[in-house]
Amino acid sequence: MPRPILATIHTEALRHNLARLRQAAPDARVWGVVKADAYGHGIERAYEGLRGADGFALLDLSEAQRVRDLGWRGPILLLEGVFETRDLELCSRLGLWHTVHCDEQIDMLAVHKTHAPHRVFLKMNSGMNRLGFAPHALRTAWARLNALPQVDEISLMTHFSDADTGRGIAHQVRAFAQATQDLPGERSLGNSAAMLRFGDDPAVRADWVRPGIALYGSSPDAPAHEAGHWDLAPTLTLSTRLIGVQQLQAGDTVGYGSTFAAEGPLRVGIAACGYADGYPRHCPTGTPVLVDGVRTRTLGRVSMDMIAVDLAPVPEAGFGSEVTLWGRSARGAVLSIDEVAQAAGTVGYELMCAVGVARVPKVAG
């Protein structure tokens, strides 16, 4: 028997979240961002729920190949563009669109031999200072691209650094609008947080939006707002079962380091999930968890393969009871990944990706 831990990917919830994001930018075309193996969900499993998108945006050429292998004939965008000249051959072969964010990528395009010119997204650095041309360098880059026979249509893009926080997007929208004002081409600005928080801004709604995290049912501006506030449904449930029960007396402790001590008699369940399953080791005592759909809390330190949970609110629970680390329990109760992320001092993005690369079996359901 395998360990009872499982990640269930909810196809219907992916569809729902995509529809919800379309409402936020009704005239825009939607890139479903599926980098990092669809934020840990697995591209093949997420595809069924996200195939209603207008295109898929990702980083790795191997992931682009997997999307094509699924039968997707529509647009695919490489969000970081190419890393070396020969990547352009695969772009030609798979018909990939790619971001151009630096002069080196234009140099590579200039020596690339192709019969079919490429569609590119020229990226401007509007303040995040990660990738992209500075505003003063954008025009020269555009002119260089425009002069290349290897290049077909040029679109313009930028990425927000603070769409999820108080600083917002206005300063970057302004910088982008000024630098691009008389350049032709489609625009792409909005990520999840910008779409949900600033969807009224015409710049965010323009041409192509690029939601990632909200597609996967995690709130882009947690903890300010939770997923329910944005009408997003959880797309990944991490569940397991109790594989042991302990009866503690006052003063008894739980787990490595004895960081939790019982104040009185307490039933404790041992769940088959630990940090080797992608559950964050930093979750302290009190992190929410569902047992048989009832909300309770973790106790003590998370170990590699197990975690202890308080059974006081679920006295009928015992060996084999369902434990939902986050997502939707069999009885329908929901625990948001964002609550667990907050307890661990991180964000839903990191938790999903960690489960994605962990040993947990994943199924669509």
Ligand X SMILES: Cc1ncc(COP(=O)(O)O)c(C=O)c1O
Site of interaction with ligand X (CB under 6 A): 33, 79, 159, 191-193, 210-214, 220
If phi over 0 gives left and psi between -120 and 50 gives alpha, with beta otherwise, what is residue 262?
beta
Nearer to ligand X, 30 or 193 (CB): 193
CB of 8 to ligand X, least distance (A): 21
Helix (H/G/I), strand (E/B), else coil: 173:
helix
Active site residue 362: no
Residue 100: beta bridge partners?
A: 122
- Reduced DSSP (H G I as helix, E B as strand, rest coil) percent helix, strand, coil of the chain, to 5: 30, 25, 45
| Structure-token pair, residue 55 | 């295109």
123 is a catalytic site residue: no
CB of 191 closer than 8 Å to CB of 210:
yes
- Min dist CB 176 to ligand X, Å, is 13
- Quote the CA–CA distance of 157 and 187 in Å, as a whole number: 6
In the complex, minimum distance from the CB of residue 220 to ligand X, in angstroms, rounded to a whole number? 5
* Nearest CB to ligand X, comparing residues 79 and 233: 79
Cβ closest to ligand X, residue 38 vs residue 272: 38
HSE of 219 in the Cβ direction (CA atoms, 13 Å)? 21
| Minimal distance, residue 48 CB to ligand X, in Å | 20
Cα–Cα distance for residue pair 50/34, rounded to 1 Å: 9
Other residues' Cβ atoms within 10 Å of the Cβ of residue 165: 12
Q: Among residues 35, 123, 216, 279, which one is catalytic?
A: 35
User: Which residue, 204 or 299, is less far from ligand X as judged by CB?
Assistant: 204
Residue of 113, 123, 216, 256 marked catalytic = 256
The residues, ordered by sequence, that sit 6+ positions from 28 with a Cβ below 8 Å of its Cβ are: 190, 205, 206, 207, 208, 209
Strand boundaries in 255-330, DSSP class E: 260-261, 266-271, 288-291, 294-299, 307-310, 322-328
Q: How far is the CB of 209 from ligand X (least distance, A)?
A: 9
Q: Which of 188, 205, 187 is nearest to 196 (CA)?
A: 205
Residue 16 vs 210, nearer CB to ligand X: 210
Cβ within 8 Å of residue 350, ≥6 positions away: 280, 341
- As measured in angstroms, the least distance from the Cβ of 344 to ligand X is 18
Which residue's CB atom is positioned nearest to ligand X? 212
Pick from 291, 358, 282: nearest CA to 325: 291
Map residue 149 onto helix, strand or coil: coil
Nearest residue (CB) to ligand X, 219 versus 237: 219
Tell me the catalytic residues.
Answer: 35, 256
